């Protein structure tokens, strides 16, 4: 496996998906803005989308890949038997979970968006839309199972390309938004569930080479399957702690009009970088890291860990700097059209600013958690994440009345830095990670390159101040130009001071 190339492959399809996701969100912003309909739809969309991120973006991998790899190293028939037992039990659990929540959906929505309860019209709409979107959970979870098998065999393209299906389906529906009127939100909700089914079919075509479904209701729950599911729940919580914090934020934000929408749009921006700087790297390194841990190859383990951490910082720190500097211009250029007013731009950009400060921490959580998962330890990051989420809730609830929705991204960032720091301390104290000789030298170079890049980006924003203003229609083109020049500048500086080593592209892990 080549870390940079594999991350590049995963990152390429992820970027395509996120760009299509941006186009989707621009169209949603134009037709819905931050209105009453938008709030109801985003709650309905947030729930399946949170589960998609929890399962698809590395969390299912965290528990499945190390266990599957340990069986695959022995022989293929044992790994197939294990995979089939997991699939059958997973399908039954998910089917009945979806069925039960569909029946008790009003209670469920009341827990997810308690601020909607007093507004009967909004609450009933959110309940109806969530009923339509919720089957997506079943489809996306099974898709994650197929993706985990592909990733175990170092095949990352199909699994990373699968989310593109959702965005294509929703964009197709939104193209008819002008003619659908208020019915648009219903069509979008049905589109979400349909896309989940299409995504599942798409992935199964690729996974058949390594695994064929053998559906059997008489399967036995072996000790290995029990151990896997015991690891799965903690790994969902620990690996998906950022998403859980965002979901907690949505619950609290539901008490303030339009706040759910502000957080949604801000969340969409920083997730583009996190998908590569944290999620992609974690998914790519886990199979090989698990293999080397099983074989007790200490040098290989430390090499992969340090390179993964270095690459994560190389990608997340400059992105954090850019989001902090240009939060308002970014939100305005990407979403400031149609029903998305200047007030919406200012509020969403405040949220993006504070999310931007936490971006390196979000990435570190993904990478550090992977080091635990490779050692088949999901409980330690779970306990640390649990404390982090409680800290997030405490800060958000305590200050929400005085500060409003903006406390949610602030609390998410504070709790995430706390989480990443405790993960690091535990790894160091238990000899599960140590820095090699070159890491600190590279880290200083990354910080220097990021500062220089930030100055350059600030200069471009000032240079194109008029073209990036809210009133200018083609502002997104100028933002794209600024971002493109800034990325080229950052890579040029990094290459010149050797913050980025070209040899890493060819290095095998």
> DSSP assignment of 257-301, as one string?
TTHHHHHHHHHHHHHHHHIIIIIIHHHHHHHHHHHHHHHT-HHHH
Residue of 71, 194, 219 whose CA lies nearest to 135: 194
Contact, 275 vs 11, CB < 8 A?
A: yes
Residue 56 and residue 60: Cα distance in Å, rounded? 7
Residue of 385, 372, 445 whose CA lies nearest to 415: 385
Residue of 129, 105, 103, 170 whose CA lies nearest to 43: 129
**Average pLDDT score, the chain:** 83
Residue 424 and residue 428: Cα distance in Å, rounded? 6
DSSP secondary structure code for residue 473 in this structure: T
Residue 13 and residue 147: Cα distance in Å, rounded? 14
Classify each residue of 162-171 as buried b or exposed e, where b means 16 or more C-beta atoms within 10 Å of its C-beta.
bbbbbbbbbb
Q: Say how many C-beta atoms besides its own lie within 10 A of residue 221's C-beta.
A: 12
Q: Hey, CA dihedral for 308, 505, 271, 181, is it positive or negative?
A: negative
Sequence-distant (≥ 6) Cβ neighbours of residue 412 within 8 angstroms: 242, 245, 246, 249, 354, 355, 358, 392
For residue range 217-275, what is the model confidence (pLDDT) as tens digits? Answer: 676 777 777 777 777 777 766 666 666 777 777 777 777 777 777 887 888 788 777 76
Contact, 443 vs 498, CB < 8 A?
A: no
Query: Degrees (nearest 5) of the Cα angle 239, 247, 425?
Result: 35
Residues of the chain with pLDDT under 70: 1-7, 33-36, 49-59, 61, 73, 217, 219, 236-243, 275-279, 282, 501-509
pLDDT at residue 40 in the model:
79
Residue 374 and residue 162: Cα distance in Å, rounded? 25
pLDDT at residue 237 in the model:
67
For residue range 322-333, what is the model confidence (pLDDT) as tens digits? Answer: 999 999 999 999
Contact, 167 vs 17, CB < 8 A?
A: yes
Cβ neighbourhood burial of 296 (10 Å; 0-12, 13-18, 19+): exposed
Among left, alpha and beta (phi > 0; psi -120 to 50; other), residue 58 is: left
Tell me if residue 252 falls in helix, strand or coil. helix
Residue of 440, 293, 419 whose CA lies nearest to 368: 419
Residue of 210, 82, 91, 206 whose CA lies nearest to 139: 91
pLDDT at residue 326 in the model:
94
Q: Into how many domains does the chain fold?
A: 1
Sequence length of the chain is 509
* Residue 352 structural domain: 3-505
Helix axes 379-403 and 241-253, enclosed angle (nearest 10): 20
Q: Say how many C-beta atoms besides its own lie within 10 A of residue 471's C-beta.
A: 9
Contact, 400 vs 85, CB < 8 A?
A: no
Residue of 126, 110, 401, 394 whose CA lies nearest to 245: 394
Residue of 396, 413, 414 whose CA lies nearest to 405: 396
Residue 309 and residue 363: Cα distance in Å, rounded? 9
Return the half-sphere exposure (C-beta side, CA atoms, 13 A cut-off) of residue 62: 36
């Amino acid at each position: 496996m080549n870390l940079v190339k594999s991350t590049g492959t995963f990152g390429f399809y992820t970027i395509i998906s996120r760009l299509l996701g941006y186009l989707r969100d621009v169209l949603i912003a134009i037709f819905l803005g931050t209105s009453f309909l938008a709030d109801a739809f985003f709650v309905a969309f947030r729930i399946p989308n949170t589960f998609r991120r929890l399962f698809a973006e590395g969390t299912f991998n965290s528990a499945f890949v190390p266990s599957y790899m340990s069986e695959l190293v022995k022989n293929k028939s044992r790994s197939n038997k294990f995979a089939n037992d997991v699939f059958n039990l997973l399908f039954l659990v998910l089917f009945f979970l979806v069925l039960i929540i569909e029946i008790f959906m009003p209670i469920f929505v009341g827990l997810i968006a308690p601020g909607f309860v007093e507004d009967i019209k909004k609450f009933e709409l959110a309940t109806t839309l969530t009923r339509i979107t919720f089957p997506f959970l079943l489809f996306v979870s099974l898709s994650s199972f197929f993706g985990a098998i592909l990733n175990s065999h170092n095949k990352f393209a199909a699994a990373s390309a699968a989310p593109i299906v959702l965005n294509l389906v929703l964009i197709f529906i939104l193209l008819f938004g002008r003619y659908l009127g208020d019915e648009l939100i219903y069509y979008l909700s049905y589109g979400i569930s349909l896309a989940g089914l299409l995504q599942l079919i798409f992935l199964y075509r690729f996974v058949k080479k390594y695994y064929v479904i053998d559906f059997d209701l008489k399967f036995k729950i072996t000790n290995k399957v029990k151990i896997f599911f015991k690891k799965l729940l903690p790994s969902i919580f620990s690996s998906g702690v950022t998403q859980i914090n965002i979901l907690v934020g949505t619950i609290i934000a539901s008490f303030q009009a339009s706040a759910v929408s502000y957080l949604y749009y801000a969340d969409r921006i920083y997730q583009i970088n996190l998908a590569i700087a944290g999620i992609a790297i974690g998914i790519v390194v886990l199979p090989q890291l698990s293999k080397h841990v099983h074989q007790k190859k200490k040098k290989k383990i430390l090499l992969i860990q340090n390179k993964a951490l270095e690459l994560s910082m190389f990608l997340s720190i400059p992105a954090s700097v850019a989001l902090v500097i240009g939060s308002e211009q970014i939100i305005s250029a990407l979403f400031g059209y149609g029903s998305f007013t200047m007030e919406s731009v200012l509020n969403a950009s405040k949220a993006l600013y504070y999310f931007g400060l936490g971006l390196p921490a979000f990435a570190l959580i993904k990478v550090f958690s992977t080091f635990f998962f490779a050692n088949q330890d999901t409980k330690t990051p779970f306990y640390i994440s649990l404390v982090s989420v409680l800290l997030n809730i405490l800060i958000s609830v305590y200050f929400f009345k005085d500060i409003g929705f903006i406390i949610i991204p602030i609390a998410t960032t504070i709790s995430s830095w706390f989480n990443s720091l405790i993960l690091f301390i535990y790894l160091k104290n238990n000899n599960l990670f140590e820095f090699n000789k070159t890491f600190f030298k590279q880290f200083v170079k990354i910080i220097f390159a990021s500062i220089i890049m930030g100055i350059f980006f600030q200069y471009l924003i000032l240079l194109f101040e008029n073209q990036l203003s809210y009133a200018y229609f083609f502002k997104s083109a100028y933002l794209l130009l600024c971002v493109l020049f800034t990325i080229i500048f950052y890579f040029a500086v990094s290459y010149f001071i050797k913050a980025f080593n070209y040899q890493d592209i060819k290095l095998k892990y």
